[in-house]
Amino acid sequence: MRIVCPFCGERELGEFTYLGDAKPVRPAAGAGADAVYDYVYLRDNIAGVMSENWYHGGGCRAWLKVTRNTLTHEISAIEPAAGAGAAKVGA
């Protein structure tokens, strides 16, 4: 598998580290214990297209949001994660 880093171009998998699902959103400060438990521990095990966080630690050290099919490894979208290369996000 190769990932096309929006900053560096196409690179081999070995330069990247997988974090996991990019969907969970940190609950508000006053959210209950269930919401925090859900955010920290509970993950969907998706067979199909999912949004994932990847870290280009062997390259530009940017965090990326990768939309990948877990069955075929087909990647349909890659964008910088929020905060990575702040100028490029949303541009």
Partner 1 sequence: MAEFSWDVRSPLDRALAVGRYGARGDAGVTLTEIRNFDLVQVMARRGKAAEMAKAAKARFGSAAPKTPQAVQGSDATLIWSGPDQFFVLSKGGKHAIGALGQAFAQSASLSDQSHARVLISVSGVKARAMLAKLSSIDLHSGVFAVGAAAATSMDHTSVTLWRGNDLADGLAVFNVLVFATFAESLWHTMLDSAAEYGLAIAHSEQLA
**82 binds partner 1 per the rule CB under 8 A:** no
The total number of residues shown for the chain amounts to: 91
For partner 1, the closer of residues 2 and 26 by Cβ is 2
**1 binds partner 1 per the rule CB under 8 A:** no
**9 binds partner 1 per the rule CB under 8 A:** yes
Site map for partner 1, 10-39, x if CB under 8 A? -xx-xx------------------------
Q: Residue 67, SS3? A: strand
Give 8-69 as a DSSP string.
TEEEEGGG-EEEEES---PPPTT--HHHHHHHHH-----SSEEEEEEE-TTTT--EEEEEEE
Q: Which of 67, 78, 80, 82 binds partner 1 (CB under 8 A)?
A: 80
DSSP 7: T
* Positions in the binding site for partner 1 (CB under 8 A): 7-9, 11-12, 14-15, 57-62, 80, 84-88
